[in-house]
Amino acid sequence: MKSSGLSGAGDMYVVIFRAIVRDLDEEYSHTAARMRALALSRYGCLGFQSVTEGRQEVSLSYWPSEDSIRAWKADPEHQAAQRFGRERWYESYSVQVAELRREYSMP
């Protein structure tokens, strides 16, 4: 599992990406790394976790707000990578967004 640490407290959003990938080649890995770096540096992404087993991939990305996700989804480079992925790499995929609430109560 690849992971980058999450910091801070409070609520956040998680984008859950599931895919069946036709070809996990070097270009796929390079593009995924480039997109993650862009999300972290430009759009406020808080971190990623990714698991690949066979041709199945599940990736979680953590975000501070829905606005940051919308900005990321509108990024032209991200949109181009998505189009290329649908044509070249993905047999199928789905994306879900969930709100994570981090509330703790002590007895």
Tell me: the pLDDT tens digits for 74-85?
A: 999 999 999 999
**Mean pLDDT, the chain, whole residue set:** 87
Alpha carbon distance 44, 71 (integer Å): 10
Q: What is the pTM of this model?
A: 0.80
Residue-range domain boundaries for the chain: 9-100
Q: What fold characterizes domain 9-100?
A: Alpha-Beta Plaits (3.30.70)
Tell me the β-bridge partners of 100: 12
Give mean pLDDT, residues 51-79. Answer: 95
Alpha carbon distance 90, 20 (integer Å): 6
The strand pair at 90-100 and 12-21 is best described as: antiparallel
Return the closest-CA partner of residue 8 out of 55, 52, 64, 56. 64
Alpha carbon distance 9, 59 (integer Å): 21
Decide if pLDDT at 97 tops 70. yes
Give the model confidence (pLDDT) of 22-45 as tens digits: 988 899 889 999 999 999 999 999
